[in-house]
Structure 1
Amino acid sequence: YVLHFNRFWCVLCLPGYLVGYISHSKPKVELLNCSPVTQAPVAQPAEVEMDFKNISQLLARKMTREAFQKTLGDFENPGCSAGSDKDMSLANSIFDEFKKLEMDPWTDIHDGKLVYGNYGRKEDLDIVNKNKVELKGCVLLVRAGKISFAEQVANAADRGASAVLIYPDEADYNYVADTVLYGHVHLGSGDPYTPGFPSFNHTQFPPTRSSGLPEIPAQTITRSVAVKLLQKIGGPEPDETSGFKGGFKQVSYRLGGVENITVEVNNKLVNKEIHNVFGVIKGFDDPDRYIVLGAQRDAWGSGYARATVGTSVLVQLAKAFREMVENDGFRPKRSLVFASWSAGEYGSVGATEWLEGYMASIDKKVFTYISLDGVVMGKGGFMASASPLLYSLLETTMKESEVYTYYGTQLDTMDQLNYETNNQTNEITAIAAQFAGQMALHLVHDHLLSLDVNRYSKTLTKAVAGVYKHIRLLSQVEYLFCLVKDLSPSWLNRARGSFQRAASNLYNDIANTNLDDKEACRILNNRIMMVEHSLLSPYVSPVKVPFRHLLFGRGSHTLASIAETTDVDELHTQLALATWNLQGCANAMVGNIWDLDEEI
């Protein structure tokens, strides 16, 4: 279950992250000096468990402005691109910090294929009739917006574009004219040349290209280059009712068409060694259950909000939790793993490759991942989004934030973030760290996991209603009526009902269980942890489908895609598979096989 502090999104629902087996040593017990034989032995008081309020206050006192003033300075490292000397140096610094904290640090090394190039160089774009690149079709000029570069390029490719140029419009972003945009166009995560398997050594695997990579070239361009393009392309003016107009004062928008455009993308695919760094604070009751807190440390350009802040929060939280265990009597029930990822700019490459490499050993053991990337995003403070399972926990403390528009650009600097936060970066970072820490505290302290299965009900109901509506509309099309008349989404709706009954039975069991019983809570937690894992479709390959989640993934298997397809044969197949994907999730929540729902 992934919690992301970032730009309006998170919800990559993965089983979790952790390398190998973490051994657990019991707390040392010192023997008292023997008393005289004639004296009765003195009974030692049982260890009193700290209540959550005291632990929370203890953590808050450690997340101070002064602490972050130093840590932010220590980890500011402009131009720290993945696999570079700076990246390695920073990785070593974090490793040494974890070692000083006696967190048994280790390093995970991958051989990744990363794209290196110069973003937005003027010489990369020729507005002339040269034959450097032969493109059959249109070059699409796209305004950078709320959806990712990868989605924009994928949509353009689906509509037959030959290339895509992405620029910041003046109506959307108040950048200087030559501000460079950074981003990737892989519609997935991890190394796109090892989809579904780890990039420990590329020679182990046949050449494989992710289905999430576009088949067309794409390039970000600056505002000044976009203006020159718009001045030259000509073509008819857009209709007044289309809403297709931008914010450039010096040029009007046109639909294009009179000039030939040559797009030259000067990027190189390079093999790079990337290092992930980990440290662990082991749990005292369930050391084989983990929560992972992670942050990327690499960045194109300065990457102050993107990498420096998250890395600082990661290290400061590690210090605080370690001090609480060592000096203050805090005894987390479950383990805390702190992860510093490399190659995050390329689509969470370091994190994904690690997950793919150790999926068999960490599956069902890591129950939550909290991403600290982009935790501070400007004047509004910070923002978070998550899987529906974490909604209830989020709502107690979370407030919405304004967008930090310099995220992912060369202007993401310390001075810019200080300006956007009214020189309160240290204070807001401390508050954000407290919030992330509170989430982690709940998840490692409480006997019962603070994950609310019922919060999926609304999302599921809406998705199934979309499938109902789509099939009803298809049945009204005359030439399709005979094909869809026997196609009913009622089985899918029954599976939804099974999910809701399983969730209700789970909460009835919780209500009737003594939550001080550790073993009983462990059994309940195992049932809760099955939900996200079971919503990953078992019927699609990660090579062909980057995100396999039934609700939040991308591909023909998702309920959103089923609610749009007009291929009746494909609709029939995917509807059946989605039904059993959802029914399987419902069955996974059930405690005993004799309690399985037999409605389907």
Structure 2
Amino acid sequence: MDQARSTISKIFNGEPHSYTRFNLTQNMEGDNSQVEMNLSSNMEEEVGGNGVGDHLNHNSTRKPYAAQKLGRKPKNLCFMAAATFLIFIIGYLIGYLVHRKKDFAPTCETSVDSYIEPFDQETGPAPLMDWDDVKNLLAKKLSAAKFEPVLREFSSVNHRAGSPGDDFLANKVMKKFKEYAMNSWSDEHFIKVQDPPATGYNRFSFKNGRDERPQGFLSYSPNGTVTGTVLYAFYGQESDFGLLRNKGVNLTDRVVLVRVGRISCAEKVANAAKMGASAVLMYPDPAYYSIGDSTALFGHVHMGSGDPYTPGFPSFNHTQFPPVQSSGLPKILAQTITAGMANTILNKLGGQIEPESWGGRYQLGDQSDVITVEVNNVLIEKKINNVFGVIKGSVDADRYVVIGAQRDAWGAGFAASTVGTSILMELARSISDMVKNDGFKPRRSIVFASWSAGEYGSVGATEWLEGYLSSLSMKAFSYINLDRVVTGQKEFKVAASPLMYRLIESTLNEEYPFFGTLLDTKENLNSAVGNQVAQLAEIATRFAGHIVLRLVHDHLLRMDFMKYNNIIRSHVSQINSKINTVKKMQPQLLPKVLTMQWLMSASGSYSRASRKLMEDIKNSDLDDVEMCRIYNDRIMTVERNFLSPYVSPRDSPFRHILLGSGPHTLKALSNHLDALRTNHPEADGDLFHNQFALATWTVQGCANSLAGDIWSLDNQI
């Protein structure tokens, strides 16, 4: 009987040839499901005595009970035994299949047998809910009316990072995650940030006039005092400084006056420093920012993210790293001023007229336009808390998408943080409810994150990433940011990795003028969006929710790894053209052995690997869990492998060779060739050759990883 039962068990529940969504779990010892084990136990009780197998034990010294009672001959007893066996097998199969049907039902009622293991122990694919049903479920959970109380609950006048107001909101988030029956935890960091002077002030004085004391500031500016002449430089972009240099304007030791916008404050300061400037003043141009003449601006100028005093490693309290500073910290003073203060300066400047492409209104400044700038910011240590909740996946629980929102702000920060935090909480509530009450089973996990110290440069998020980099780089496949998602009523702004372009159909842009000011209030956001904050938040939540749910619903990650083919080819074509130009015009500046062959080959390897993976996916059984996991892992490595392994995150915070910044990027190679072509004093042919080789191997390494198995690699390189 044991052998028969084992054979039948193998037929119905043995090791499958390929995984499908209908397989029951098998434990590590090789036993079959708990359903079968419990049925066996019940049958033994019904037969009674010494167990089911005793009457078939030919070594037993006792006669079977039926033979003793009826005095049957051995031949008849054999027939009776055979008949009993056949009846038992039929009953067993019927019972087995009935229980199997119960287990496969789309909705699971509480079992009569309370000891049967729950269905969430399966290893096969989760029962796949139709995508339209998933979208409809989410839509039913969300409404503008539900957003109004959430927006009120997470509104706060004062919740700067590390403040009691920030901690109060963190506790609210944690309480909500627990209410939604999510696994939740917090993550504590001790960070160094710059705040405005607690006593004293930052100031500037133009042409020996009265001291101006702006309320706003730029965190991470060096402290000190400089005196120089004002130079108006439009938006402070590299192209803007290039125009000034071409006009013969002296840039050395100038105090540069620039508009806010187009590029980050940190980039403006870095560009000015490269030109030899001594300080930067930034202001909001009233033509683009209708925030009034006296509104203060707040921001930071760290050319990187995270705590700049723990670059590349986490700011946990127990870390014992020696004092170090990020290479992204600026070397020159930086300060914000109001539009009114800037207008006073601009109207008194002398010198050349600005280029026509800038507007042709202002003069650039001359040697008589002297200004003194003083910065006295205070470097302090703060304790911050990130708060997390997770909805675990039913198939690949150890693969997860992270969706997060900044919780802190300079002031009220209604658009900067309140709306995003409210959307985060509504998504957590809605998706948790879908899992608990509607039968939705995400294949992968969703991590909801509430970050602190976002205003100082994504400090909370970056420190968490640095703290768990080895785990996150292998298991987290996407991050969705909810900060500043509602800024207007006509358009929706989305930015993403090229891998996400197909998932996000279009990107539109509308500027909200109150970011980085104390005017970022509920009233001003309502005014900007026609009193439809709740309605737009609901739309944004549904949009973000669709992205998250799609990433955890489908068998394969919806990431377009083919998108990088054209991007790489475009860079390679540009570099090839410029190398040929330099070899013709300045052949002595490049090593003779330098050739484009290897970079072109690496580009081709990536193209072939991505096309081959796409073909393999099209020809695969998507019900094969293991195969899907292998494919998804290969897709997940794309972005990670475009991070140059040859530069330190301490020295180059943005290591992506296609989207990052620094000498390791393909864009930097192209710019270096421009410098070689013009015989710029900082150009170096040998340095270019080294950077060229490292970038080539970064592309090739990404292609090798995408190809998968070592025997599938392109052996031409």
- Normalised to the residue count of structure 2, the TM-score between the two structures is 0.75
Selected match of 1:433 from 526, 541, 548 = 541
Q: Is 1:187 matched with 2:303? A: yes
Q: Which stretch of the first structure deviates more once superposed, 165-174 or 403-412?
A: 403-412
CA, structure 1 residues 516+163, in 2 after alignment: closer, same or farther (shift >3 Å)? same
Tell me what 1:133 maps to. Answer: 225
Tell me what 1:58 maps to. Answer: 137
The letter of the residue matching 1:153 is: V
Tell me what 2:709 maps to. Answer: 592
Q: Is 1:301 matched with 2:393? A: no
Q: Is 1:319 matched with 2:429? A: yes
Q: Is 1:552 matched with 2:662? A: no
Per-residue CA shift, 1:487-538, capped at 9, x if unaligned? 2222111101000000011011101110111111011111111111111100
The letter of the residue matching 1:421 is: V
- Cα distance in structure 1, aligned partners of 2:154 and 2:491: 21
Tell me what 1:562 maps to. Answer: 669
Tell me what 1:375 maps to. Answer: 485
Tell me what 1:463 maps to. Answer: 571
Alpha-carbon deviation of 1:595? 1.1
Per-residue CA shift, 1:459-509, capped at 9, x if unaligned? 11111122112212212324x446355422221111010000000110111
Give SS of 2:186's match: strand
Tell me what 1:407 maps to. Answer: 515
Contact 2:405 2:481 in 1 (8 A): yes
Selected match of 2:343 from 198, 223, 227 = 227
Tell me what 1:582 maps to. Answer: 699
The letter of the residue matching 1:548 is: R
Tell me what 1:10 maps to. Answer: none
Give SS of 2:326's match: coil
Contact 1:189 1:546 in 2 (8 A): yes
- Cα distance in structure 1, aligned partners of 2:421 and 2:206: 41
Q: Is 1:333 matched with 2:443? A: yes
- Cα distance in structure 2, aligned partners of 1:326 and 1:63: 16
Contact 1:475 1:485 in 2 (8 A): no
Selected match of 1:212 from 328, 337, 341 = 328
Tell me what 1:20 maps to. Answer: none
Give SS of 1:392's match: coil
Selected match of 1:86 from 165, 170, 193 = 165
Selected match of 1:69 from 127, 130, 148 = 148
Give SS of 1:382's match: coil
Tell me what 2:499 maps to. Answer: 389
- Cα distance in structure 2, aligned partners of 1:241 and 1:359: 48
Query: What RMSD in Å do the two structures reach over aligned CA positions?
Result: 2.4
- Cα distance in structure 1, aligned partners of 2:360 and 2:389: 51
Give SS of 1:211's match: coil
Contact 1:63 1:431 in 2 (8 A): no
The letter of the residue matching 2:715 is: E
Q: Is 1:271 matched with 2:378? A: no
Selected match of 2:532 from 407, 416, 424 = 424
- Cα distance in structure 2, aligned partners of 1:122 and 1:377: 32
Tell me what 1:499 maps to. Answer: 606
Give SS of 1:294's match: strand
Contact 1:296 1:310 in 2 (8 A): yes
Q: Which stretch of the first structure deviates more once superposed, 128-137 or 309-318?
A: 128-137
The letter of the residue matching 1:90 is: L
The letter of the residue matching 2:343 is: V
Give SS of 1:279's match: strand
Tell me what 2:583 maps to. Answer: 475
CA, structure 1 residues 501+335, in 2 after alignment: closer, same or farther (shift >3 Å)? same
CA, structure 1 residues 392+203, in 2 after alignment: closer, same or farther (shift >3 Å)? closer
CA, structure 1 residues 83+485, in 2 after alignment: closer, same or farther (shift >3 Å)? same
Per-residue CA shift, 1:272-316, capped at 9, x if unaligned? 001000011111111111111100100112211110010000010
Tell me what 1:115 maps to. Answer: 194
Tell me what 2:594 maps to. Answer: 487
CA, structure 1 residues 194+202, in 2 after alignment: closer, same or farther (shift >3 Å)? farther
- Cα distance in structure 1, aligned partners of 2:596 and 2:327: 29
Tell me what 1:236 maps to. Answer: 351
Contact 2:644 2:656 in 1 (8 A): yes
Contact 1:296 1:343 in 2 (8 A): yes
- Cα distance in structure 1, aligned partners of 2:318 and 2:268: 29
Q: Is 1:353 matched with 2:463? A: yes
Contact 1:377 1:401 in 2 (8 A): no
Selected match of 1:255 from 332, 342, 365 = 365
Give SS of 2:448's match: strand
Aligned residues: 561
Contact 1:83 1:272 in 2 (8 A): yes
Contact 2:643 2:656 in 1 (8 A): yes
- Cα distance in structure 2, aligned partners of 1:350 and 1:239: 41
Tell me what 1:99 maps to. Answer: 178
Tell me what 1:145 maps to. Answer: 261
- Cα distance in structure 1, aligned partners of 2:270 and 2:202: 25
Per-residue CA shift, 1:535-581, capped at 9, x if unaligned? 11000011111111011111110000011113211110001000000
Give SS of 1:147's match: coil
- Cα distance in structure 1, aligned partners of 2:589 and 2:484: 52
Q: Which stretch of the first structure deviates more once superposed, 310-319 or 379-388?
A: 379-388
Give SS of 2:479's match: strand
Per-residue CA shift, 1:338-372, capped at 9, x if unaligned? 00000011111000001101112222100011111
- Cα distance in structure 1, aligned partners of 2:307 and 2:105: 48
CA, structure 1 residues 209+451, in 2 after alignment: closer, same or farther (shift >3 Å)? same
The letter of the residue matching 1:527 is: R
Give SS of 2:385's match: strand
Per-residue CA shift, 1:422-475, capped at 9, x if unaligned? 111111110110011001111111111111110111211111122112212212
CA, structure 1 residues 557+399, in 2 after alignment: closer, same or farther (shift >3 Å)? closer
The letter of the residue matching 1:457 is: N
Give SS of 1:540's match: coil
The letter of the residue matching 2:697 is: W
Tell me what 1:525 maps to. Answer: 632
CA, structure 1 residues 391+482, in 2 after alignment: closer, same or farther (shift >3 Å)? closer
Contact 1:144 1:168 in 2 (8 A): yes
- Cα distance in structure 2, aligned partners of 1:378 and 1:118: 34
- Normalised to the residue count of structure 1, the TM-score between the two structures is 0.89
The letter of the residue matching 2:695 is: A
- Cα distance in structure 2, aligned partners of 1:482 and 1:409: 49
- Cα distance in structure 1, aligned partners of 2:263 and 2:356: 23
Give SS of 1:350's match: helix
Q: Which stretch of the first structure deviates more once superposed, 332-341 or 483-492?
A: 483-492
Per-residue CA shift, 1:34-70, capped at 9, x if unaligned? 9998996444341443211101110011121011111
The letter of the residue matching 2:660 is: G
Q: Which runs of 5+ in 2 are unaligned?
A: 1-33, 47-87, 107-126, 212-223, 229-252, 677-683
CA, structure 1 residues 78+462, in 2 after alignment: closer, same or farther (shift >3 Å)? farther
- Cα distance in structure 2, aligned partners of 1:314 and 1:89: 17
- Cα distance in structure 2, aligned partners of 1:63 and 1:212: 42
Give SS of 1:453's match: coil
Between structure 1 and structure 2, the one with the greater Rg is: 2
- Cα distance in structure 2, aligned partners of 1:242 and 1:548: 33
Alpha-carbon deviation of 1:382? 2.5
Higher relative contact order by CA 8 Å / sep ≥ 6: 1 or 2?
Answer: 1
Alpha-carbon deviation of 1:240? 5.8
The letter of the residue matching 2:329 is: L
